[in-house]
């Protein structure tokens, strides 16, 4: 039987763009370019490697996000994933991580899965908790923050490198894993891959399709709220030390003044 892998990928605002909050203190996703969260490219890469090793495997990439989030799906498809699911609904505006985990869990169940692979954290919210919430909602084991991952005989195995120890972990499928940026360089899409991705199926679902009530998500359903946000002050010009014989001394005084030395 085919190994069904679902990779959760997030469409995030480009960190090099001018990012800001909207009036309701949610992230303004309309005004800034987005892309597939870099850390999720590692998850796609691991899915592709696991699929290569399996007799028969199918990779679905899944995102919850606005219309433009399809770009993230296309990128994952061009890397080699087989098909994509996009969950989009106006009522999702302001959904927090708990709501996102609910939507992803319903979408994963509807897709059908043996293994869910997530990134270690998104590059915008960067909470790093979604994989654990998702596993809890699905009622399956979670093996998170893996630097190495493989699947054999209905079991997912992996290595987690911590500050004080390296752990070898395993769980029976179905399971949720997350992989780190140490798990192996993500491949670049080839020209052939980019062309092939245009023909791969992308299914769109809204909240009704997933039998989720609008009240469970969005700003009203959120368990967390942003009370206030202050824009980071513009950078000021730095201090230039001219060396006219006293440069070293002035530098030392500056560093001491900043308590660096
Ligand atoms: C339209 C929209 C509006 C939102 N508005 C708000 C808001 O106002 N306030 C708020 O707190 N949150 C909001 N969210 C949710 C937020 O952007 C995050 O998706 C959610 O909080 C997860 O937190 P994180 O990104 O820190 O996840 P992490 O725990 O850091 O993510 C870990 C991994 O989970 C997976 N993942 C995370 N998010 C998604 C996703 N959306 N789709 C697929 N996979 C994912 C990825 O594999 C990722 O690497 C919104 C989301 C959407 C789609």
Please answer whether residues 116 and 176 qualify as being in contact, where contact means their C-beta atoms are separated by less than 8 angstroms: yes
Pocket probe for ligand 1: among 5, 120, 121, 130, the residue whose CB has the most ligand atoms within 8 Å is 130
Confidence of residue 211 (pLDDT cuts 50, 70, 90): very high
> In this structure, how many other beta carbons lie within 10 angstroms of the beta carbon of residue 110?
16
- Which of 3-17, 25-39, 211-225 shows the lowest mean pLDDT across its residues? 25-39
3-state secondary structure 216-254: HCHHHHCCCCCCCCCCCCCCCCCCCCCCCCCHHHHHHHH
189: confidence class by pLDDT, cuts 50, 70, 90: very high
Least confident of 4-8, 9-13, 177-181, 242-246: 242-246
Average pLDDT score over residue span 7-12: 97
pLDDT of residue 95 exceeding 80, the answer is: yes
Q: Which pLDDT tens digit goes with each residue over 111-134?
A: 999 999 999 999 988 899 999 999
Residue nearest to atom 39 of ligand 1 (CA): 10
CA angle 208/211/217 to nearest 5° reads: 85
Q: What is the mean pLDDT of residues 63-69?
A: 94
Tell me, in angstroms, the distance from the centre of ligand 1 to residue 100's CA. 6
Residues with CB under 6 A from ligand 1: 8-10, 26, 37, 39-40, 43, 62-66, 92-97, 100, 104, 118-119, 121-122, 124-131, 224
Name the average pLDDT for the chain: 94
- CA distances from residue 36 to 54, 64, 85, 158, 161 in whole angstroms, order as listed: 26, 12, 14, 24, 25
pLDDT in tens, 163-181: 999 999 999 999 999 999 9
- pLDDT score recorded for residue 59: 98
Task: Give the domains, in start order, of the chain with CATH numbers.
Answer: 3-221 (3.40.50.620)
Residue whose CA is at the smallest distance from ligand 1 atom 8: 94
pLDDT over 80 at 183, yes or no: yes
Q: How far is the CA of 242 from the centre of ligand 1 (A)?
A: 48
- Asked if residue 155 has pLDDT above 80, the reply is yes
Confidence of residue 98 (pLDDT cuts 50, 70, 90): very high
CB 32 within 8 A of CB 71: no
Q: Does pLDDT of 182 surpass 80?
A: yes
The pLDDT value given to residue 159: 98
Q: What is the pTM of this model?
A: 0.89
Integer Cα distance of 173 and 252 in angstroms: 59
The per-residue pLDDT for range 213-248, each reduced to its tens digit, is 999 999 999 999 889 988 888 888 888 888 899 999
- For residues 231 and 222, what is the distance between their CA atoms, to the nearest angstrom? 23
Residue 244 makes CB contacts below 8 A (sequence gap 6+) with none
| Residue 151 predicted with pLDDT over 90 | yes
- DSSP class of 137: H
91 confidence band (pLDDT: 50, 70, 90)? very high
> What is the pLDDT at residue 32?
77
3-state secondary structure of 27: strand
Are the CB atoms for 72 and 65 separated by under 8 Å?
A: yes
């Amino acid at each position: 039987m085919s190994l069904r892998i679902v990779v959760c990928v997030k469409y995030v605002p480009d960190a090099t763009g001018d990012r800001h909050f909207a009036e309701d203190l949610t992230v303004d996703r309309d005004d800034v370019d987005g892309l597939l969260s870099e850390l999720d490219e590692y998850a796609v890469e691991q899915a592709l490697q696991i699929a290569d090793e399996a007799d028969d495997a199918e990779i679905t990439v899944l995102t919850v996000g606005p219309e433009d989030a399809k770009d993230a799906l296309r990128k994952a498809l061009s890397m080699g994933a087989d098909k994509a699911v996009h969950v989009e609904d106006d009522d999702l505006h302001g959904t927090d991580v708990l709501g996102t985990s609910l939507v992803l869990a319903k979408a994963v169940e509807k897709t059908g899965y043996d293994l869910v692979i997530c990134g270690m954290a998104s590059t915008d919210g960067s909470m790093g908790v979604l994989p654990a919430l998702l596993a809890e909602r699905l009622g399956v084991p979670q093996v998170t923050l893996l630097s190495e991952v493989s699947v054999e005989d209905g079991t997912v195995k992996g290595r987690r490198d911590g500050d004080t120890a390296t752990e070898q972990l395993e769980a029976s499928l179905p399971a949720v894993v997350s992989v780190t940026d140490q798990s192996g360089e993500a491949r670049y899409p080839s020209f052939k891959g980019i062309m092939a991705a245009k023909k791969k199926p992308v299914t769109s679902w809204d909240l009704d399709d997933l039998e989720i009530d609008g009240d469970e998500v969005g700003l009203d359903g959120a368990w967390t709220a942003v009370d206030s946000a202050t824009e980071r002050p513009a950078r000021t010009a730095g201090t230039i030390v001219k060396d006219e014989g006293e440069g070293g001394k002035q530098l030392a005084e500056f560093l001491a003044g900043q308590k660096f030395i």
